[in-house]
Amino acid sequence: MSDALNANAKAKIAVLVSGGGTNLQALIDAEKSGILKSGTIRLVISNRKDAYALERAAKAGIEAFALTKKSCGGQEGFERRLIEEIDSRGIDLIILAGFMSILSEDFTRHFDHRIINVHPALIPSFCGKGFYGLLVHEAALEKGVKVTGATVHFVNEIPDGGEIIMQKAVEVKEGDTPETLQRRVMEEAEWIILPASAEKICAEMCQKGRSV
């Protein structure tokens, strides 16, 4: 993490991804529109070489590359490389945007209160180990809840166990499928509260002098 240089500095953001990158796109759009004004996306890393999110980053002129566990010799080597790449660029905030890999306690402690994640449900409902992607929405529909939503939270060693930053509720409609519910939660919650949370944390970092 780098030291503050001037009053107009922005926090440096790294986004970790695994798939299509719709939440990454929401962050890119938020920076362009000025919703995200206290931080700037400087790095995108995917744990999958074929992730479309890498193309989204490239189109936006953001440094992006893939880093796999296989290429790093396993989880320990993977996390060590992640730390090296992130620290060498003076990154202030890490955002997990559809990043489908559990991070160890050593990693999350290294970046204590500097990693945030968006989860497609209202924590503490439908969260924790095994709840990701469409599985979250399938569980919500099976339970028959009338309201679901999304949560942005700090990341610690417990899956979806960190302090909640922001939540937004979304109505579950009659006839919903996991796919239609997933789309509505993204559009009405995730794409709103993830950029808003990033701005909140980046603004706080800049006020505390944790900026470029």
Among 51, 53, 40, CA closest to 90: 40
* Pair 154, 115: CB distance under 8 Å: yes
CB 140 within 8 Å of CB 170: no
d(CA 121, CA 151): 6
Q: Is 174 exposed, middle or buried (CB count within 10 Å of its CB: 0-12, 13-18, 19+)?
A: exposed
* Torsion angles phi and psi, residue 127, rounded to 5: -140, 175
Is 119 considered catalytic here? Answer: yes
Mode of pairing for the β-strands spanning 39-46 and 11-17:
parallel
How many Å apart are CA 134 and CA 120, to the nearest integer? 9
ω into 159 cis (within 30 of 0): no
Catalytic residue selected from 110, 113, 119, 153: 119
Active site amino acids: 119
